[in-house]
Amino acid sequence: MGQDVKITLDPTLEERFVNKCKSLEMDVEEVVSKLIEQFVEGQSVLEAQEFADGLTVREYLDLPEEEKDALWSKWEKVAEQQVGYIVKDAKPDALPPR
């Protein structure tokens, strides 16, 4: 069995959370479970999480545009090396764009 999880919220935040669940006509536990599931599944992130190359999400978002461009170009080169140049021969009846 896993460790019991107990969450202590700031009272104001807790009140807002409960009120929002009520307005959505949703059960509090159901909402918490859903949010945790999204976090565990990687569908939501925290600013302190690593994004890539040792950069956190926050650090990446704060980079100037040119540095983001440079990073994506670097990652493309890395991807080219890791994927290799794999040529697939299209079938003779392959569909061109219509």
Rule CB under 8 A: is residue 80 a binding residue for other proteins?
yes
How open is the CA angle 6-10-13, to the nearest 5 degrees? 105
Site string for other proteins, 16-45 (x = CB under 8 A): -------------------------xxxxx
In order, the DSSP letters of 29-59 are: HHHHHHHHHHHHTTSS--TTSEEETTEEHHH
**In the complex with other proteins, which residue's Cβ is closer, 9 or 27?**
9
CB 57 within 8 A of CB 49: yes
Strand partners, 40: none
Q: How far is the CB of 16 from other proteins (least distance, A)?
A: 14
Residues within the interface to other proteins (CB under 8 A) = 41-47, 49-52, 57-58, 60-61, 68, 72-73, 75-76, 78-80, 82-83, 85-98
